[in-house]
Chain A
Amino acid sequence: MSNRQKSNSGELSSFGGASVRASRLASSLAPPKAALPVEIDRSCCVPLLALFGGAALWLVVSSALGLMASIKFHAPDFLANCAWLTYGRLQPAADDALLYGFCLPAGLGVALWLLTRLSQTPLRGAVVPIAAANLWHLGVLVGLTAIFIGDSTGFAWLEFPRGGSVPIFFAYLLLALWAMMIFAARRERALYPSQWFLVTALFWFPWIYSTANLFLVARPVRGVAQAVIGWWFADNLLVVWTGLVGLGAAFYFLPKLTGRPLQSLYLALFAFWTFILFATWSGIPPGAPVPVWIPVLSAAATVLFLVPLLVVAIIGWRTVWGSISSRWNNGPFCFVGFGMDSFFLSGLMLVAMACPKLIPMTQFTWFGPAQTQLRLYGFFAMTMFGAVYYLLPRVVGFEFPFPKLVRVHFWLSLSGVALLVVPLALGGVLQGLKLQNPNVAFADTTKAMLPFLRVSTTGLLLLLLGNLLFFANVMGLTLHWKLALLKQFIAFVKSPLEATPARTGNEGREVRA
């Protein structure tokens, strides 16, 4: 990083009449400069509203479905006459609505914005990412409907059949292509760590998603090779992809929000390499009925996953250290900070599930779902909430309609995640111990879980409430933006002979970048 090119810092360029100072990063260790032209932010406005709006809707759908599925544990007869709403369809639908409905489009939106910011390059040809975002959400709708009518592929986290997977694959390709074009046109050639993570993530998904769909759905391989590929895919999506995007965002926002440089570049490079090298192997559960080298290799890689985990913890701790108390009132900082804590904890849970001594307590129990929920909700979704709360007002040009609800959302999500994950993890260990003792009747292992499941249902309820607040803020902001456009349009129609109205549509309070 030392021999960075001389950037064109003196050069003046203009976008839409505004003069732009093409500042370069003072140092790649320093937080990226905030002095970026409003126009770069505005160039992403419509694609990001399309991505985040749909994502917020799917998030609410996901937690509502998850809550309905969870109620079935307390009342197996609940909605039992409806084939669409049987547990085995509701739960995968809730999971996929969270992963494909919220996590991926929100992550793509945040990646798109971060890359425009870090590249100091506006998004051009916005119509393609807008179309891709809508195609994505259409694919999710088709995929979820397919699960409800019993058309799921039967592979965990890959349930969408062709009608859903093909649209989201191409939508992803288009969005990734546009993000890569921004990246290629960057004004600062040297890369900030976030860019390593985000570019890698852009590349990761098409490879794993096409492999999984090809070998499992289009031309299925025979026997348990299916299961191995399914686990490899799920791990690379749930652990690696979310990790790359979430860490990429955190490595931008933590320095940005604390005003302290990322500590340090070399640690980040080490974390990046070890993370992609080890986490990509960690998906195969121990004891799987496959040739024994497969789970053994996977367990070894999972234990090595401790290395990037600790390095990321050190980076995060050294970056925010000393500024936590003063930033505790900052909404986005709370979300991203909690996300980093969850990343660390869910990583430890992942390693625990590969430790030979602990396998009996975690295998086939609720410990696994607890780990996944902590990763998807506690780490990834929380980091994305923080990013969206930070960037969306800047991108659209208006404040959120209900800024006070941001903090309510944070506390609801925090308590929701805690009430969801802690009982499931503890109950999972108890369930595992009971499963290991053949003298305990199986029905008793299920019964022993009920109090824990009751608490986790409460957690899901809190998450649903929090997600509704997020939805209200994103939709309110979108509505505000649409009204402003409408007003502009009316003003334009009423006074055709006067000067043309401003193009940026900043009728509302301008938000300083």
Chain B
Amino acid sequence: MSSGFRVFLAALVALGGSWCGFVLAPVSQLGGGKQTVVLNSTELYPVDRPGLANQGLQVYRANGCAACHTEQVQQNGVACDVALTDAGKNPTATTNLISSLKLNNLDKEAADALLDKIAAAGGKAEIHIVATGPDIARGWGRRHSVAEDFLYDDPVQLGSLRIGPDLADVGTRQPDANWQLVHLYAPQSVVKDSAMPPFRYLFRVGKTGSAPSPEALVFPKGYGPPAGYEVVPKPQAQALAAYLMSLHAEVPLHDAPFSQLVAVPKP
């Protein structure tokens, strides 16, 4: 490497390559941002969040929630579960047969064989596809996160460290606004052993006047402000709770299918 120009050229080639690969190509592949169709349905996915939840994303960003929480469910693969839909003419025999068999976490061949067996006993069953993996088993979502989930997010807050649990599906787990707000105000009151710091600065504590605020939090026993006081969420807290409740990973998609009915083979 004998001249400055050659060094410049080397840098241009190396960085230009990765720029095309990891900036230009993803933008042209993903940046168009089209909605997709929910599996076996005509519904479009995703739909934009309501305004309050979108403001909540900005509260999430401003407070750096992504420093501790990811929003990306992982899955190892898929498996088949077999569920009985019709016990047939001889229910006891079918039920006895079912109870002696392994019905969950099967591969496709085993599931098909099982269907044949049940059909031979006169019953009817169907196969469900389920996602597998520790995140799914923890109930953090029904499938892994995919690119479509983040179409309307700006900024996209995937996170990289799980000091706290994954939040991609927290809206399904905890659809109760009061729970979300109480958890933000005093995490340990609803999640024992939580390491989350309280976000009391998103709330106002005041004396309960003659008419208590309808927005005041309802605490579990033993927590909450002293009698005569109430905790009222500031608009930021309400927006953040709305955002958290808008997080779902429960819609089956073409590239992340689950629980899909498979045609039952004729006996």
In the complex, which residues 187-221 of chain B have their Cβ closer than 8 Å to any Cβ of chain A? 187-188, 191-201
Q: Known: A151-B62, A221-B27, A223-B147. Is A364-B161 also a contact (CB below 8 A)?
A: yes
Cβ-neighbour of A86 out of B3, B138, B158, B197 (below 8 A):
B197
Give Cα distance in the complex from A407 to B145, angstroms.
50
Task: Decide: B8 and A226 in contact? CB cutoff 8 A.
Answer: no
Q: Is A276 an interface residue (CB 8 A)?
A: yes
Other-chain residue from A190, A204, A297, A443 in contact with B2 (beta carbon distance below 8 A): A190
B155 and A155 contact, CB distance less than 8 A: yes
A interface bracket (residues with beta carbon within 8 Å of B): 35 or more
Distance between Cα atoms of A232 and B63 in the complex (Å): 24
A153 within 8 A of B: yes
Interface string of A269-305 (1 = CB under 8 A from B): 1001100110011011101111100100110000000
Whether A220 contacts B64 in the complex (CB less than 8 A), given A236-B15, A289-B72, comes out as no
Asked if A88 and B147 make an inter-chain contact with CB atoms under 8 angstroms apart, the answer reads no
Q: Is the CB of B11 within 8 A of A200?
A: yes
Task: Give the CA-CA distance A447 to B138 in the complex, in Å.
Answer: 17
Tell me the complex Cα distance, A301–B141, Å: 31
Q: When the two chains form their complex, are residues A76 and B195 in contact, meaning their CB atoms are under 8 A apart?
A: yes
Give the chain B neighbours of A310 by CB distance below 8 A. Answer: none
Residues of B within 8 A of A285 (CB): 160
A228 contacts the other chain (CB 8 A): yes
Q: B108: shortest Cβ distance to chain A, in Å?
A: 21
Q: Tell whether, in the assembled complex, residue B161 and residue A443 are in contact, meaning their CB atoms are under 8 Å apart.
A: no
Stretch binding the partner chain, chosen from B16-24, B83-91, B93-101: B16-24
Which residues between 1 and 26 of chain A lie within 8 Å of chain B, taking CB atoms? 1, 3-4
Comparing A29-37, A365-373, A380-388, A392-400, the segment that makes contact with chain B is A365-373
Question: In the complex the two chains form, what is the Cα distance from A224 to B137 in whole Å?
Answer: 25
B158, A280: Cβ atoms under 8 Å?
no
Contact with A along B209-244 (1 / 0, CB 8 A): 000000000000000000000000000000000000
Quote the shortest CB–CB distance from A371 to chain B (angstroms).
Answer: 11
Q: How many Å lie between the Cα of A92 and that of B155 in the bound state?
A: 16
The CA of A151 and the CA of B30, in the complex, are separated in Å by 27
Contact present for B62 and A224 (CB under 8 Å)? no
- List, in ascending order, chain A residues with CB within 8 A of B14's CB: 276-277, 280
B153 to chain A, nearest CB (A): 7
Q: Which of A191-199, A313-321, A472-480, A488-496 lies at the binding interface?
A: A191-199
A191 with B134, Cβ < 8 A, contacts A76-B198, A83-B201 known: no
- CB pair B18–A232 under 8 Å, yes or no, is yes
Q: Which of A72, A184, A287 has the most CB of B within 10 A?
A: A287
B74 is an interface residue with CB less than 8 A from chain A: yes
Min distance, Cβ B209 to any Cβ of chain A, angstroms:
23
Contact across chains for A1 and B160 when beta carbons are under 8 A apart: no
Are B144 and A289 in contact, CB atoms less than 8 angstroms apart?
yes
| Interface residue ranges of A165-204 to B (CB < 8 Å) | 183-184, 189-191, 195-196, 199-200, 203-204
Smallest CB separation, A25 vs chain B (Å): 13
**Would you list 21 pairs from A and B whose C-beta atoms are within 8 A, ordered by A residue?**
A3-B2, A80-B200, A86-B63, A86-B201, A91-B64, A155-B155, A156-B160, A184-B4, A196-B1, A211-B19, A222-B32, A223-B156, A224-B30, A224-B147, A225-B29, A232-B22, A277-B14, A291-B29, A369-B161, A438-B134, A443-B195
Beyond the given pairs A72-B197, A231-B22, 13 more chain A to chain B contacts, judged by CB atoms under 8 angstroms and listed by A's residue number, are A76-B198, A83-B201, A87-B197, A152-B62, A189-B2, A199-B7, A203-B8, A211-B19, A222-B151, A225-B31, A232-B22, A291-B30, A446-B195
B-to-A contact residues, CB < 8 Å: 1-4, 7-8, 10-11, 14-15, 17-19, 21-23, 26-27, 29-33, 61-68, 70, 72, 74, 134, 137-138, 144-151, 153-158, 160-165, 187-188, 191-201
